[in-house]
Amino acid sequence: MSVPVPSPDLSPFLAACARRQLDDRVPVWFMRQAGRSLPEYKRVRVGISMLDSCARPDLVTEITLQPVRRYGVDAAIFYSDIMVPLKAAGVDLDIVPGTGPVIAEPIRTASDLDRVRPLSADQIPYVTEAVRRLVAELGETPLIGFAGAPFTLASYLVEGGPSKDYARTKALMVSRPDVWHDLCGRLAQISATFLVAQVEAGAGAVQLFDSWVGSLSAADYATFVQPHSASVLEAVGRLGVPRIHFGVGTGELLRPMAAAGADVVGVDWRIPLDEADRRLGHRYALQGNLDPALLGAPWPVVAERTRAVIAAGAAAPGHVFNLGHGVPPDTDPAVLQRVVDLVHEEGSDIRRAARV
């Protein structure tokens, strides 16, 4: 079967990632566009747990496509959860509605490490299958592969679930660097395998989510995190697809996160994109960065902020419009639709004007 492969010449998203953005289109997609805020998603999820939904190619395909159909965004993001590859590798965990991931036996000592075993592609046939179906359906719209980064995965495994301060994670990191690096090496293998499987099945780009890494200083990031994220991004880089690297509150970490092997750096809303571009030496494409907390504001405010993001993003050699973090569960899809339409209708004019 011959599958149409999206190319930078045809995909505004891939062109922006490649720092070859044309001024006729600002591409846009939203983190968490597939899932929790869409009524059609809630309908197909009735009676099916999160982890079960991620293991069913028919559902993954449907849920991934829903926002593409609805909004006309420039990329699809593979519907999954950062815990899926850990579950597939045999870690005993669940995703509890209203709480998040819950790890049956947290990983805190050297002897716990045996419970984090390598992932092989044949343990995730439903991922390969779903990606194949998706690229056939998506045609010229690229599919972005999805995985959590070693630090963020480790934080769940060590804490046993979501955390406010990552105290156990940080304590392990600094007090047993040998255990920490062993753990993150294992997680890097798992993340890399999960992403490579998606790319080999046809994903045209990847995003590595290190959502909680902004809780670290730059020095600790460089010592304890960057090498492991770099090994994930390197494994994917060999396949030639663009790599997006994202975290929240990472103003101090943009350079080392870029240097870990990113083509596109995701930026949250705390820093304007032109400032992020300065910090990165005008060498990377940027993704972001409308504050998702503002989506509940009246439309004229959302529109003004959307325009400001596009204008600031014009400083960078490539700009993929996105939120600064995931779509909040209570977001009105009609607002996201208006954002997409504004970006598509006004984006190129705003970019041109901002660069005069």
Q: Contact, 95 vs 88, CB < 8 A?
A: no
> Is 352 known to be catalytic?
no
CB of 189 to a copy of itself, least distance (A): 27
CB of 298 to a copy of itself, least distance (A): 5
Q: How far apart are CA 213 and CA 302, in angstroms?
A: 28
> Is 79 known to be catalytic?
no
* Closer of 166 and 321 to a copy of itself (Cβ): 166
Catalytic residue of the set 25, 41, 74, 81: 81
Q: Contact, 289 vs 311, CB < 8 A?
A: no
CB of 276 to a copy of itself, least distance (A): 11
Distance, C-alpha 242 to centroid of its chain: 12
* Closer of 160 and 251 to a copy of itself (Cβ): 251
Q: Which helix or strand (DSSP H or E) is residue 320 part of?
A: strand 319-323
Catalytic residue of the set 19, 25, 32, 351: 32
> Is 70 known to be catalytic?
no
CB of 187 to a copy of itself, least distance (A): 20
Binding-site entries: 32-36, 81, 156, 211, 325
> Is 277 known to be catalytic?
no
> Is 156 known to be catalytic?
yes
Residues interacting with a copy of itself, by CB under 8 A?
165-168, 170-171, 174-175, 214-219, 249, 251-252, 269-272, 291-298, 301, 305, 325, 328
Q: How far apart are CA 254 and CA 233, in angstroms?
A: 15
* Closer of 241 and 309 to a copy of itself (Cβ): 309
Nearest to 319 by CA among 77, 34, 29, 72: 29
Q: Tell me the CA distances in angstroms from 249 to 36, 211, 213, 264, 271, one per residue in order.
A: 23, 9, 8, 16, 9
Residue 229, judged by CB atoms within 10 A of its CB (0-12, 13-18, 19+), counts as buried
Catalytic residue of the set 41, 71, 79, 156: 156
Binding-site entries for substrate: 32-36, 81, 156, 211, 325
Do the strands 143-148 and 319-323 form a parallel or antiparallel pair, or are they unpaired? unpaired
CB of 118 to a copy of itself, least distance (A): 29
* Closer of 237 and 251 to a copy of itself (Cβ): 251
Q: How far apart are CA 126 and CA 60, in angstroms?
A: 9
Please give the structure tokens belonging to residue 255.
């350079």
Q: How far apart are CA 176 and CA 169, in angstroms?
A: 10
* Closer of 266 and 292 to a copy of itself (Cβ): 292
Nearest to 283 by CA among 268, 263, 253: 263
Residues annotated as catalytic are 32, 36, 45, 81, 156
